[in-house]
A and B are shown apart, each in its own frame.
Chain A
Amino acid sequence: MRLPRFFGKKRGHRRTGSQAWGSFGEGLFYAGLVAAGIVFAALLLSGTVNYAPSDSQPVALPWAYAWCLWLLTMLIPGALLAFGGSGLARVVRTWGKSEERRAASERLTVLLDAMGHAIGEAPGHPGVPPCDDLVNSPGTILRYRLPIESPESWTLFGFGLFAGLWNAIVVVLAVGAGFELVSGRIDWLLLALLATFLAVGIGGIVVFVRALVLATAVGPTQIEICDHPLMPGEAYDVLLAQGGSGVFRSLELFLEVEELATFRQGTDTRTERTIVYREPVREWRDVQPVPGARFETHATITIPSAAMHSFASAHNAVKWRIVVRGSPERWPVFVRVFPLVVFPATTAATRAPVRSVALAAGEVVP
């Protein structure tokens, strides 16, 4: 009999030790939780445990007593039973099964789904993300308008939330300090705390307003595309529309592929992103949108014939995207990202050639 290794190398869900011993230990842990829940509940219900500290006599929990108190008291043993029971059921269900068998049974559950494909997968294309969210917005000139993938919006929201919450605390402190002053007392500690909090609060507002101005001053960028999903070896007409009133020293259009890998490091979950392919599509110099209108121009993107398709699984992804980089004359450089979905080459259909488009005035073809 081989003894278990207590210090097996572990990364994420992977284990290098014995699967059977690992599952046994896991089962033992959940069984312990269930046992603790049962014992705890039994003690409470039988009155062995005194739940009224002021009363030295053991008191049973009467069923007719306030039901909400009864429920509250049973919350901890109930949670132990639920958590332990579900864990134990999972261990029993997967006991002795290979990872392929477990994965296959999960897939069977998915196949029984009315949709006939896994959630987050394009029908008939395992591992390829769906493009439903990318084709539900019609374009003004071309067929689809691509949604913008903007982490800046969430950053802006975060700055706003921080500024709002922090300054709410400042207001509460200020009201307290105001009452102290009115009553003729000066609490120097409170005033010092208020001054520090006020400085941070003002800083938070400044950062939020700056981010808001940067996000709104440049003007919106829109990308429209003639078809979706994309196929390797095919060319697609793309419309770039840039709003705003200032002059842009340059507007650049890129086609990129980004890899994403999510992994656990201790108790943290981290996502690493790496750009593995970039194709400069076109560049426009000295762009000045006409007041009240937007700058509109066309370009053609070509997906390489041997390209990897879009891929998405639980912790890994390969993403295609169009990137617009702009250099406004009076503002910092901005980058805006528009996601694409590329299907595998085998399903490429015969497509009409991309229509030719006249160059807009002032365009520079690199």
Chain B
Amino acid sequence: MSGSMAGNGVVKAATPHVAVEFDRADRVYEPRRELRIRYHIEGVEPEVVRAIERSVLWYTEGKGEEDLGVHSFERIDDPATLAQASPVGTFMIPLPTSPLSYEGVIVKVRWCVRVRIFFGSGRDFVSEHVFDLGGVPPARGPLERLE
């Protein structure tokens, strides 16, 4: 990992940063369309990277326990492939029909791209980038239950 010199003379490890570019500027995708991603890992020396995991997944947010569904998962730990996937890499994934992104009152469904970097020290760093699947409008709000 690269380091930077702080003002007091102490060497501080730079925070890794993963810049992700979506092929759509608004990050809104129709179901079954292809998602194209280009990412750039910054602040990390390529030789300290042991593996990279690239995944496209949905997870729930809100009042309930978090549920997670992985649509696409790829782990790259082969040195030859790793050299091609770091620090810059691209991948394409056809998106599924569901679940669509949803902004409910107590249930929310979010889609995201995650790039997880594993270092030789055993630590890992994850970067998450949210996008929308479908165009479902937010829920109106809680209503009184019928009696």
Contacts and interface: CB of A to CB of B under 8 A. Distances in A.
Are A and B subunits of one complex? yes
Interface of A: 12-14, 20, 96, 98-101, 103-104, 107, 124-128, 254, 257, 259-264, 272, 274-278, 306-309, 311, 313-318, 323, 325, 333, 335, 343-347
B64 A99 contact: no
Contacts of A317: 107
30 contacts: A13-B66, A20-B122, A98-B116, A100-B57, A100-B68, A103-B57, A103-B68, A104-B73, A125-B97, A126-B71, A126-B97, A254-B146, A259-B106, A260-B107, A261-B107, A263-B63, A274-B106, A274-B142, A276-B139, A276-B140, A277-B140, A306-B137, A309-B100, A314-B65, A314-B67, A315-B60, A316-B64, A343-B98, A344-B31, A344-B97
A13 B65 contact: yes
Interface in B100-147: 100, 102, 104-107, 109, 114, 116, 122, 124, 126, 134-137, 139-147
Of A13, A101, A344, chain B has the most CB atoms within 10 Å of the CB of A344
B96 interface: yes
Given A311-B102, A346-B32, 17 more contacts: A98-B116, A100-B70, A101-B73, A103-B73, A126-B96, A126-B98, A127-B98, A259-B105, A261-B106, A263-B65, A276-B139, A307-B136, A308-B102, A308-B139, A315-B64, A316-B62, A318-B104
B62 to A, nearest CB: 6
Contacts of A127: 58, 69, 98-99, 109
Interface of B: 30-32, 53, 55, 57-58, 60, 62-71, 73, 75, 96-100, 102, 104-107, 109, 114, 116, 122, 124, 126, 134-137, 139-147
A201 B109 CA distance: 48
A208 to B, nearest CB: 22
Contact of B97 (A276, A323, A335, A346): A346
Contacts of A254: 146
Of B53, B60, B75, B126, chain A has the most CB atoms within 10 Å of the CB of B60
B107 A311 contact: yes
Q: Give the secondary structure class of B's interface.
A: loop
Contacts of B134: 344-346
A129 to B, nearest CB: 11
B66 A311 contact: no
A85 B40 CA distance: 43
B53 A308 contact: no
B97 A259 contact: no
Nearest to A313: B67
Contacts of B73: 100-101, 103-104
A38 B140 CA distance: 58
Contact of B107 (A12, A318, A335): A318
Of B73, B75, B114, chain A has the most CB atoms within 10 Å of the CB of B73
A272 B55 CA distance: 31
B139 to A, nearest CB: 4
A276 B141 contact: yes
A264 B62 CA distance: 13
A346 B30 contact: yes
Nearest to A124: B97
A317 B126 CA distance: 28
A318 B101 CA distance: 12
B32 A103 contact: no
B116 A128 contact: no
Nearest to A118: B69
